[in-house]
Amino acid sequence: MFDGFELRQVAVGDGVTLRVRTGGSGPPVLLLHGHPRTHVTWHKMAPLLAVGFTVVCLDLRGYGQSSKPPAEADHSGYGKRAMARDCVEAMRQLGHRNFAVVGHDRGAYVAQRLAADHPELVSHLVVMDAVPIGEALARCDARFAARWWHWFFLGQTAKPAERVIDADPDAWYQVDAKAMGEEAYADLRQALHDPATVHAMCEDYRAGLTVDRDADDADRRAGRRITCPTLVVWATRDDLEDLYGDPVEVWRGWADAVRGVALESGHHLAEEVPDQLAAVLQEFLGGPAGPIPSAENEAGAVTAE
């Protein structure tokens, strides 16, 4: 995996180190994974994007082989603001003052917080299969609760979810190992069998229901908006459109310059349609690829301006 990439540990302060992988050359792009993945989720797509870009992938704090700092009473240690600060410091140490950021799933919330809190650093924002946490919770109804019940199961503290997951991680996280790739699955499975990782991932969700929602709500009250070019990418075989209609219109409530692309895929786009996703990102970020694929071609993409 990641032929030509370099793997390292980067200390980002407060005793936290991140597992970071870098490769390619050109303008820097930071890739942020979702739950329960690690940075290895990008292993098919990152080498394609590295043709024209310096690609940085990392394990978010609490995930994979990055640090798992002790949980705090208010869960802020696993809030997206703390994770965003980790990313800023990691990119600084790698020599990148300005960069684009791409986030999938939970990583999209970190990417959003990076663009909101550090607008002077983020040149482009890409969010995949996500709307802001504050938006999702404000719109929460019985249908959302039925489909996304894991938000509330992982996020509650009265009867911690860790005991259920740790009893049989393979049964809880059912992954198509063949589709993911043998090495990538082994990396993920190692993480999921670590109780410290499971606890940290639950803290991520607890932060989502508390400090992360508070941060989004504060942005809305203050009229703070994301000012950099923003691309929303979603999978047609996931439920973003079913829950929210047009994801581009949702994000226009949060960002000034939004485009959208739907890809014919399940939730894990970087693993399922890496070629199409790389082409979309290269076009948006100004790389060597051609225009965003149309609905009629093999990429199965639909664009929205």
pLDDT at 127 over 80: yes
105 classed as catalytic: yes
What residues does each domain of the chain span? 6-304
Per-residue model confidence as pLDDT tens digits over 202-212: 999 999 999 99
* Options 117, 118, 239, 267, the catalytic residue: 267
Q: Which stretches does DSSP call E strand in the chain?
A: 6-13, 16-24, 28-32, 54-58, 99-104, 122-128, 226-235, 255-263, 301-304
6-304 CATH, one of 3.30.540.10, 3.40.50.1820, 3.40.1190.20, 3.40.50.11820: 3.40.50.1820
CB-CB contact of 232 with 247 (8 Å): yes
pLDDT at 54 over 50: yes
Q: What is the reported pLDDT for 290?
A: 37
Per-residue model confidence as pLDDT tens digits over 175-198: 999 989 999 999 999 999 999 999
pLDDT at 295 over 70: no
Query: How many percent of the chain have pLDDT more than 90?
Result: 93
Q: Mean pLDDT in the chain?
A: 93
Amino acid at the residue 144: F
pLDDT at 33 over 80: yes
Q: What is the reported pLDDT for 293?
A: 36
**Cis peptide bond prior to 195, omega within 30° of 0:** no
Q: What is the reported pLDDT for 255?
A: 98
* Options 59, 86, 105, 212, the catalytic residue: 105
pLDDT at 301 over 90: no
Q: Which of 209, 206, 205, 203 is nearest to 137 (CA)?
A: 209
